[in-house]
Chains A and B, each alone.
Chain A
Amino acid sequence: MSDNLLQVDHLRASFFTHVGEVQAVRDVSFSLKKGEILGLVGESGSGKSVTCMSVMKLLSHPGRITGGAVHFRGRDLVPLGEREMQQVRGNEISMVFQDPMTSLNPVYTVGSQMVEVIRQHRPLDRRQAKEAAIKMLSLVGIPSPEERFHNYPHEFSGGMRQRALIAMALSCDPGLLIADEPTTALDVTIQAQVLELIGEVRERLGTSIILITHDLGVIAESCERVIVMYGGMIMEQAPVEKIFFDPRNPYTLGLLQSVPDPTKETRERLQPIPGSPPDLLNPPRGCPFSGRCRFAMHICEQRLPPLYEVEEGHQSRCWLLDEAAPRVPEIRKEGAKG
């Protein structure tokens, strides 16, 4: 386990719908060090949220974990019961979600919801819990927290609600914060503030962070290491600068080429990735991206490529990295943007 805070091994999760088993997460392994900030990117349905929901064991019927292990601080969470997980959630691992507008209960004050969480995990009385909550609110940058404590969620703006949710998630000083698209529902200026806050939190509290997003800009701005997911699998894993300047997977490349680069003056058209994600009810035998990949070879449809170690800390799932594969020089050329 070494110094890894979180170690996910061969995690699998499926949704058992009446048309069959939808394999949302297929053999995902990764690890996270203490104080590290990891980005999880991929388009909708790539399995990034389900992976994190599985880490917290929050998948609800008909979804469940079908295999693998999730070691947190050396303890496997997968076999734990609901009661034990309750002590982990909000206490050791916390999560904030996409839509702050609807993520707070409208009928209770923000303060009382925070106090409830704190008292759930800490042996504090009402007054002490209130003090702790107010301290958290001020830490996340909510002005006049003593008064705001008594406000209802509808009296907060979207950005403030996300701050309050982050405060609530951090109120018991968890080792890991999972942020599932925390800025998607916010406007751009507020997005930047919330990301900045998440970065600050890591520095001040030493919390490890997993940031789920489909926004590469968010990744570039705040992450150290990036995992690119597709079709329920890890396609590429690398330090952030490698992902942007030396991507080794056609899918990562496709993602990079489908967003505008503001530093370039060219009037080049953006290149969307043609086609749609694979059907996880009947996942393809080969590489999940093979159907949309412009470099796809015969083998790509036949066999799933392994994760090749490109260099220390940089892995990519692509047959092109095999020794026997033909060289494709333009991948590197086009990938080396800027």
Chain B
Amino acid sequence: MLRYILKRLLSMLLTLFLLATAVFFLLRFIPGSPFTRERTLSPEIEALLREKYNMDAPLWQQYLDYMGDLLHLDLGTSIQMLGVRVNDMIRNAFPVSAALGFWAILLVIVIGIPLGVLAALKRGRWPDYLISFLTTLGIAVPSFVIGSFILYVFGERLGWLPPGGLYGWRSYIGPVLALGGFSMAFVTRLTRSSMLDVTSMDYIRTARANGLPRGRIVFRHALKNALIPVVTYLGSTFAAIITGSFVVEKIFAVPGMGKYFVESINNRDYTVIMGTTLFFAALYVVMVFLVDVAYALIDPRIKLQD
């Protein structure tokens, strides 16, 4: 077991190293530079800026310097926002996104999975059709529409929800729904189809033939098997949800991490792009690892061994 964890850890680090390398070089191939403005800077000033941000050195030197800092978990300083360290940026913004993400994930699990089970149990009857309709909406309607709709109807018109920002539990409702809506709908559908697959399995027939009550069959025998594909999806979704969404944060004026993903690319803010990408990737590989652990917990046929 320990050996397995060490092995996985090593491969996670390797993944991150390769990713850092690839992103680092790819970034330099994007046309333009962090200093590209509508009003061109004078060559002297640009030269000074390049020097300040270590961009006058040869590319391999820049790479080695960056990787050296990365070893100390130092993501460098933003090029666009004067003097702001990327580490601090993430440290300030991530908890905000994570708080929203936490509730969104809870929503996905606590609402999405039971709704899927319900739809499967009531297959072909009105609860199934209703859930199917709602989940189709949830999947088809983009988060900015859901977000704007909530903000307009419940915030502006009815005045039940605050217009934005994160003050008090009420202000969480809108962004959490917008953030988790798609995944919740997706998980509901996934759970439904997976439950239906499992219900036609021979071991469910065995359980019925042995006189087990329906509730036990559904929740003990079917659900545990049906969750395997759901867990797969949840792993990667967690990483995405918890790091925030540009769109949702923009609509609800939430100071989360999502905006850095988009803005840094627009600004070609090399260090911020590197920082946010690596942070996301690190979360992602950890989630994938946790999914594998979860598999082993659910399904005894899967063993965590090399």
Which of B15-23, B39-47, B114-122, B200-208 touches A? B200-208
Residue of A nearest to B124 (CB): A61
| A87 contacts B by Cβ under 8 Å | yes
Interface residues of B in 185-204 (CB under 8 A from A): 201-203
Residue of B nearest to A168 (CB): B210
Interface residues of B in 17-45 (CB under 8 A from A): none
Which of A1-9, A93-101, A261-269, A305-313 touches B? A93-101
When the two chains form their complex, are residues A56 and B202 in contact, meaning their CB atoms are under 8 A apart? no
Q: Mark B44-63, 1 if CB is under 8 A from A, else 0.
A: 00000000000000000000
CB distance from A191 to the nearest CB of B (A): 19
Q: Which residues of B contact A91 (CB under 8 A)?
A: 211
Task: Choose among B205, B212, B224, B299 the residue that contacts A90 (Cβ–Cβ < 8 A).
Answer: B212
Q: Which residues of A contact B224 (CB under 8 A)?
A: 107
| B301 contacts A by Cβ under 8 Å | yes
When the two chains form their complex, are residues A58 and B301 in contact, meaning their CB atoms are under 8 A apart? no
Complex: A208 Cα to B130 Cα, angstroms: 48
Residue of B nearest to A104 (CB): B203
When the two chains form their complex, are residues A106 and B299 in contact, meaning their CB atoms are under 8 A apart? yes
Interface majority SS (helix, strand, loop, mixed), chain B: helix
When the two chains form their complex, are residues B209 and A154 in contact, meaning their CB atoms are under 8 A apart? no
Q: Which residues of B contact A85 (CB under 8 A)?
A: 211
> Can you list 29 A-B contacts (CB < 8 A)?
A56-B209, A58-B208, A87-B211, A88-B211, A89-B209, A90-B212, A91-B211, A94-B210, A95-B209, A97-B205, A97-B206, A97-B209, A102-B202, A103-B202, A103-B203, A103-B206, A105-B206, A105-B207, A105-B225, A106-B203, A106-B301, A107-B224, A109-B300, A116-B212, A116-B216, A117-B210, A152-B300, A152-B301, A169-B209
Residue of A nearest to B298 (CB): A107
CB distance from A73 to the nearest CB of B (A): 16
Q: Which 7 A-B pairs have the closest CB atoms?
A: A90-B210, A90-B211, A89-B211, A102-B202, A95-B209, A105-B203, A103-B202
Interface residues of A in 147-171 (CB under 8 A from B): 152, 154, 165, 168-169
| A86 contacts B by Cβ under 8 Å | yes
CB distance from B296 to the nearest CB of A (A): 11
Count contacts between A and B, CB distance < 8 Å: 75
Given A103-B202, A152-B300, A152-B301: A89 and B225 interface contact (C-beta under 8 Å): no
CB distance from B224 to the nearest CB of A (A): 5
Complex: A97 Cα to B225 Cα, angstroms: 20
| B85 contacts A by Cβ under 8 Å | no
Complex: A86 Cα to B214 Cα, angstroms: 9
When the two chains form their complex, are residues B211 and A58 in contact, meaning their CB atoms are under 8 A apart? no
When the two chains form their complex, are residues B201 and A169 in contact, meaning their CB atoms are under 8 A apart? no
Residue of B nearest to A95 (CB): B209
Q: Which residues of B contact A83 (CB under 8 A)?
A: 213
Given A82-B214, A154-B300, A154-B301: A107 and B225 interface contact (C-beta under 8 Å): yes
Interface residues of B in 212-234 (CB under 8 A from A): 212-214, 216, 220-221, 224-225
Task: Choose among B203, B205, B216, B299 the residue that contacts A58 (Cβ–Cβ < 8 A).
Answer: B205
When the two chains form their complex, are residues B206 and A107 in contact, meaning their CB atoms are under 8 A apart? no
Q: Mark B129-143, 1 if CB is under 8 A from A, else 0.
A: 000000000000000
CB distance from A131 to the nearest CB of B (A): 19
| A121 contacts B by Cβ under 8 Å | yes
Task: Choose among B210, B214, B225, B299 the residue that contacts A169 (Cβ–Cβ < 8 A).
Answer: B210
Interface residues of B in 261-306 (CB under 8 A from A): 298-301
CB distance from A212 to the nearest CB of B (A): 13
Q: Which residues of A contact B201 (CB under 8 A)?
A: 102
CB distance from B206 to the nearest CB of A (A): 5
When the two chains form their complex, are residues B214 and A89 in contact, meaning their CB atoms are under 8 A apart? no
| A120 contacts B by Cβ under 8 Å | yes
Q: Which residues of A contact B208 (CB under 8 A)?
A: 58, 89
Given A102-B202, A105-B221: A94 and B209 interface contact (C-beta under 8 Å): yes
Complex: A102 Cα to B211 Cα, angstroms: 18
CB distance from A232 to the nearest CB of B (A): 21
Residue of B nearest to A92 (CB): B211
When the two chains form their complex, are residues B206 and A120 in contact, meaning their CB atoms are under 8 A apart? no
When the two chains form their complex, are residues B299 and A107 in contact, meaning their CB atoms are under 8 A apart? yes
Residue of B nearest to A83 (CB): B213
Complex: A87 Cα to B220 Cα, angstroms: 19
